[in-house]
Amino acid sequence: MATKSPIQKVVAKIRPVWIIRVGQEMARGMEVRADFEEQLGRFFDLLEQSITTGDPAWMDPILLDWAKSSTETELEDEPYQISFLINRMIALTIQVARETLTKQQALDLLAAVIPIYTYGLEVVARYEMETRVAHISSEMEKVQKRMERVDKSKSAFISVAAHELKTPITLIEGYASMMDDLMQQSKGTNLDSLLAGMNTGIDRLRAIVDDMIDVSMIDNNLLQLNFQPMQVSQMVDALCLEVEPIIRSRKLTMDIKDFDGNKQWIYIDAPRIMQALRNVINNAIKYTPDGGTITIDGRTLSGFIEVIITDTGIGISAEDQATIFEKFGQLGRVDLHSSGKTKFKGGGPGLGLPIARGILEAHGGSIWVKSEGYDEIKHPGSTFHILIPARIKSPDPGMAKLFDTLGKNEDQSVVE
Ligand code: ADP
């Protein structure tokens, strides 16, 4: 074995003190891995090797290892940890040299190690900068992809919205021109049926525009809830009455279960929750072939009432289950857009479920779906779960007071 040169001896002399000091110092300020001392040993070995050979590139593997593990985990907040660590090492090396070596030895050591540290700083800084730039570019690429997707769904939305709005407008135009013809011929024909036709078109237009307004209110957190006591059973009964004619004409069966929690008085914005339930029930009707069954069941969970709406319809693929609650998540099939509210498979503007979700989430509830998949022959059906928070007190303090007094005066009129 070759005898050690003076500088190698000096380096060997400070090694134990250096490892302990750097280890302690770094452990204080930074999150240090268990194998840190071992890592410092490896660093020091390579430092010695660089000094002996005069080639700082010996340091490359450890510098890159450190820079990689630091930047991969901490890119978001602290990207320059290794440069910082090397700077601290320089300061500590000077300290240790001063304490353990003679002046001359210290000077010799510093003359040998400073260029290596400087090289190390350069390597790490370059790596960190490159990683940072790559990270920023990949973030920008992601943003760009997201914007492309937004752009696509925007134009898909415009095409579907135009299609949706055109149907009732054509209807109104037709009736208006028929009325015009009749007026020209000044026949005393009864215009009632024509007016009824126009009103259907106008109602449909209003419903679409209202949905668009609701979506924008939900998006901007502007949905104001007006909490009042209500029972789930009352809402379900009212909705069943609404859909009765369609149920009859489509030969569907509505199976309404009497479940636990059904008659509990809870504070909700009833018209809004009804809107959410209506959207789900209308979908169940739309996507279930004639002769099928829609079941409304539920249960009480701690702090919530869960309403479960099951149909025997065409079902929903796993892929679609993930997107149907997203705004315009279902814009793909423009051909299905019939503007029919309850026609079998009559696609709408794809706003019903996002609105239902917005309303439920604004209440502190949620909605999700389970389905074995999409199959137009086997009809696996879908089950929508709607979680409504069971508030027994009004979240609005003024209202709580009012209903408290009413409750007392009328002897438990509110809470069963
Ligand atoms: P739409 O206006 O298209 O009905 P929704 O937001 O109400 O919009 O529903 C989004 C999509 O989810 C529908 O187009 C349909 O593909 C699917 N969907 C919703 N409910 C059901 C259901 N009960 N059975 C099968 N598919 C459904």
Q: Is ligand 1 within 6 A of the CB of residue 287?
A: yes
If one residue of 165, 324, 342, 343 were mutated to test the ligand 1 pocket, choosing by the most ligand atoms within 8 A of its CB, it would be 324
Best probe residue, ligand 1, of 353, 359, 368, 371 (max atoms within 8 Å of C-beta): 353
Q: What is the mean pLDDT of residues 387-405?
A: 78
Q: How many residues are recorded in the chain?
A: 416
Q: Are 366 and 301 in contact (CB under 8 A)?
A: no
pLDDT 10s digits, 115-158: 999 999 999 888 888 888 888 999 999 999 999 888 877 777 77
pLDDT in tens, 10-41: 999 999 999 888 888 776 645 555 577 888 89
Query: Among all chains, which residue has been given the structure tokens 């929690």?
Result: 261
> What predicted TM-score, i.e. pTM, was given to this entire model?
0.62
Tokens 């279930």 appear where?
Answer: 288
* SS3 at position 360: helix
pLDDT in tens, 334-386: 455 554 555 666 656 778 999 999 999 999 999 999 999 999 999 999 999 99
Instruction: Give the residue ranges of DSSP H helices in 75-102.
Output: 81-100
Ligand 1 pocket check for 97: Cβ under 6 Å: no
Query: Would you call 308 helix, strand, or coil by DSSP?
Result: strand
Residue 314 Cβ contacting ligand 1 at under 6 Å: yes
The CB of 266 under 6 Å from ligand 1? The reply is no
Task: Give the residue from 59, 57, 86 showing the smallest Cα distance to 70.
Answer: 86
Å from CA of 344 to ligand 1 middle:
11
Q: Which two tokens stand for residue 343?
A: 């026609």
Q: What separation in Å is there between the alpha carbon of 191 and the centre of ligand 1? A: 36
Dist CA 138 CA 145 (whole Å)? 10
Q: Band of the pLDDT at 99, cuts 50, 70, 90?
A: very high
**pLDDT single digits (tens) 192-210:** 888 888 888 888 888 888 8
The β-bridge relationship of strands 253-256 and 293-301 is parallel
